[in-house]
Amino acid sequence: MVSPIEFCAIARETTVLVSHQETSADFEYLLADVLKEIPPHADFKTTRSRGGYVFHLLVEQGLSYICATLPEASMHQSFTCLFLIKQRFLEGSLSSRAWTAQEHELDRDFGSVIAAIVNNCNSGRTGDQISHLHRQVEDVRGIMAQNIERVVERGDRLDSLLEKTQDLEQAVS
């Protein structure tokens, strides 16, 4: 089971341009504290812990792409989600508005896109090769478990057949 991404946002310095959250936790308050630590105009990836959550940040060209998860969540899943959000955001015209937009100004235009990406990431449908391989391994595990059950059932039937054969041989002798 994939641990869910509970919050995602895009920010310019300390201004949150768009956000989406899956739970009722006060992520914006925690995020404000995290964003104060981010050096302006530096490109990097980092992880910070606040309030029992882990904030994963992908900072590129003055924009911060952020998601919050529980500590046991996959870092790969988190950064894959951030990469997908960044990719979609930069594809459209919203990226040019990001430099002048006010707090949460892009929620209406991009909030549903973030929600869809988070939903796909939380359900393991990110399209990346590792997630695809993980799903295949889980499918193979399920098939193997079914096959083992069938072999055990056949073994029980063979044991029963062997006992009946021995009983018949003894009855004939």
Over residues 47-106, the pLDDT tens digits come to: 999 999 999 999 999 999 999 999 998 898 899 999 999 999 999 888 899 999 999 999
pLDDT at 173 over 80: no
116 and 139 share a domain?
A: no
Higher local confidence (pLDDT), 25 or 99: 99
48 and 120 share a domain?
A: yes
75 and 145 share a domain?
A: no
Task: Provide the pLDDT for residue 1.
Answer: 46
Q: What is the domain range of residue 13?
A: 5-126
52 and 11 share a domain?
A: yes
The total of structural domains in the chain comes to 2
| Separation between Cα atoms, residue 88 and residue 90, nearest integer Å | 6
Q: Residue 116 sits in a domain of what CATH number?
A: 3.30.450.50
Last residue of a domain, one of 126, 147, 162: 126
Chain centroid, CA 42 distance in Å: 26
Task: Provide the pLDDT for residue 151.
Answer: 76
Reading across the β-sheet that carries 44-50, which strands appear in turn?
A: 15-21, 5-12, 63-69, 53-60, 44-50
112 and 33 share a domain?
A: yes
pLDDT, tens only, 95-141: 899 999 999 999 999 999 999 999 988 887 766 565 556 666 777 77
Task: Provide the pLDDT for residue 133.
Answer: 61
71 and 156 share a domain?
A: no
- Residue 9: which of 61, 80, 82 has the closest Cα? 82
| Separation between Cα atoms, residue 44 and residue 60, nearest integer Å | 7
pTM of the complete model: 0.72
Q: What angle do CA 98, 99, 104 make, to 5 degrees?
A: 45
| Separation between Cα atoms, residue 119 and residue 79, nearest integer Å | 14
